[in-house]
Amino acid sequence: MTPRQSRKAFQKAIAKERKKNRVVHVRLEHDDWCGVFSGSECHCNPVRCILDQDLKVKHKFYNCGFYDGVSFAAEHEGGFKDDTR
């Protein structure tokens, strides 16, 4: 599967979960050498996981390319809430 196909499958799976009116948990598994761990941008190819409500892995997506959090949030605008407060 190409990176573009993987990203589209990931987006489709998130959209499907959101239609169920459930919270969608996403976990990114970055490589140890990725820039996010040194305060920089992601430049690895993280595994993207969608978790169920019990935080068990429901779907895993490989080869989606680097992770851009700003673009990801813009694609899902209005669908995320900050639960860190």
- Write down the pTM of the prediction: 0.75
Domain presence at residue 70: yes
83 located within any domain: no
Q: How far apart are CA 22 and CA 60, in angstroms?
A: 18
In a domain, 42, yes or no: yes
CA distances from 62 to 5, 14, 36, 40, 45 (A): 10, 15, 18, 22, 8
Q: Is residue 17 part of a domain?
A: yes
Q: Please report whether residue 84 resides in a domain.
A: no
- pLDDT value at position 47? 94
Please count the structural domains in the chain.
1
Containing structural domain, residue 11: 3-75
Q: What angle do CA 14, 18, 22 make, to 5 degrees?
A: 120
pLDDT in tens, the chain (85 residues): 898 999 899 989 988 988 888 788 889 999 999 988 998 888 899 999 999 888 999 999 999 888 776 666 666 565 544 444 3
Write the CA distances from 68 to 40, 42, 46, 49, 81, integer angstroms: 11, 7, 11, 15, 18
Reduced to 3 states (helix: H, G, I; strand: E, B; else coil), residue 26 is: strand
